[in-house]
Amino acid sequence: MHKITIRQLLSDLTEALTPAYGGGEASSIARIVAEDAFHLKGNAGRELDEVEYTRYLDISQRLLSGEPVQYVLGQADFFGMKFRVSPATLIPRQETEELVAWVLEEPVSNGVKLLDVGLGSGCIAISIRKKRPGWTVYGMDVSEEALAVAQQNSETLVGGDTRFFHGNALKKQDWQNLPALDIVISNPPYIPAAERTLVPAHVLNHEPHLALFVTDDDPLLFYREIAGMSLEKLKSGGRIFFECNEFNAGEVAEMLGQSGFTSIESRKDICGADRMVRAVKTDL
């Protein structure tokens, strides 16, 4: 049997991944593996047993093939929680945490009804529900596989205290049974097919295209349709929040104004990219 300590695993995996990812990201990925799969903390000198060593080899091979570490381990960190993820769901990202934080700046009052359109792993809806237990959180996704992952995360992280359902954001009938809402939030597909060449290979080859791409001839399709449905479902004074493609956040804001929303505000993410837009439904 091969003998390797967790400390050596960390060093070897960092070295193996550096040519593909660069030293900083390789080190970060290796640490995630060491901590989440092999319980690094306080155990750096412990040797892997035979079963663990076999798992380490499998993890290494998958990572070296370009598979994202979150899919390899089946989980991703988001807003202080560990979410189950699969190739049916996008990997939660830091800029989406910033969108959640913006929603949580809303006044803390019970009875708020919020809808997350395009659940994926459920990271947005569940993180908000965790922080706002007095709110009722709904979520829809067109992918049955993604919905199953979100439901499992809801059970694990908030005791199933969410109302998730299968639905297509572009179909009016799938919105019909929702009550009047206070907040709609969405991180919809927003990458035009023409920008595929700008997408990193590990994203393009592994994350769900259904949640990533929109046609070149109508890149605002999901924003426009979700905004239109939201105008019907939001109460007066209700808010809509979008995560955006950094190249079209201004167009999203303009579209919201043309649709009848007011008090439109944009925010940059931590990297300085135009990434988030908020608007208010104001009845005349």
Q: Is residue 213 part of a domain?
A: yes
| pTM over 0.85, yes/no | yes
Q: Is residue 72 part of a domain?
A: no
Residue 116 and residue 167 in one domain = yes
Residues of the chain with pLDDT under 70: 1, 216, 284
What 3 state SS string does 85-109 have? Answer: CCCCCCCCCHHHHHHHHHHCCCCCC
Residue 36 and residue 102 in one domain = no
Residue 186 and residue 254 in one domain = yes
Q: Is residue 207 part of a domain?
A: yes
- The pLDDT, as a whole number, for residue 1 is 55
- The pLDDT, as a whole number, for residue 122 is 98
Q: Is residue 160 part of a domain?
A: yes
- DSSP letter at 48 equals P
Residue 44 and residue 105 in one domain = no
Residue 47 and residue 94 in one domain = no
Residue 174 and residue 61 in one domain = no
**Pick from 219, 237, 231, 139: nearest CA to 182:** 237
Q: Is residue 106 part of a domain?
A: yes
Show the domain range for 263: 86-281
Q: Is residue 122 part of a domain?
A: yes
Q: Is residue 78 part of a domain?
A: no
Contacts of 161 (CB under 8 A, 6+ apart): 129, 133, 137, 154
Number of Cβ atoms within 10 Å of the Cβ of 189: 22
Are the C-beta atoms of 241 and 184 separated by less than 8 Å?
yes
- The pLDDT, as a whole number, for residue 3 is 82
* Backbone angles phi and psi of 191, in degrees to 5: -95, 115
- The pLDDT, as a whole number, for residue 144 is 97
Q: Is residue 59 part of a domain?
A: yes
- The pLDDT, as a whole number, for residue 32 is 94
Residue 15 and residue 132 in one domain = no
136: left (phi over 0), alpha (psi -120 to 50) or beta: beta
Residue 259 and residue 128 in one domain = yes
Which string of DSSP letters, residue by residue, matches 136-197?
EEEEEES-HHHHHHHHHHHHHHHTT-SEEEE--TT-GGGGTT---EEEEEE----EEGGGGG
Residue 118 and residue 184 in one domain = yes
Residue 56 and residue 102 in one domain = no
- The pLDDT, as a whole number, for residue 165 is 97
Residue 135 and residue 55 in one domain = no
Contacts of 188 (CB under 8 A, 6+ apart): 117, 118, 169, 214, 222, 223, 226, 242, 243
Contacts of 262 (CB under 8 A, 6+ apart): 279, 280, 281, 282
Domain of 233, CATH number, reads 3.40.50.150
Residue 98 and residue 29 in one domain = no
Query: Which residue do the tokens 């960190």 mark?
Result: 77
Structural domain tally of the chain?
2
- The pLDDT, as a whole number, for residue 39 is 87
Dihedral sign (CA 69, 120, 215, 245)? negative
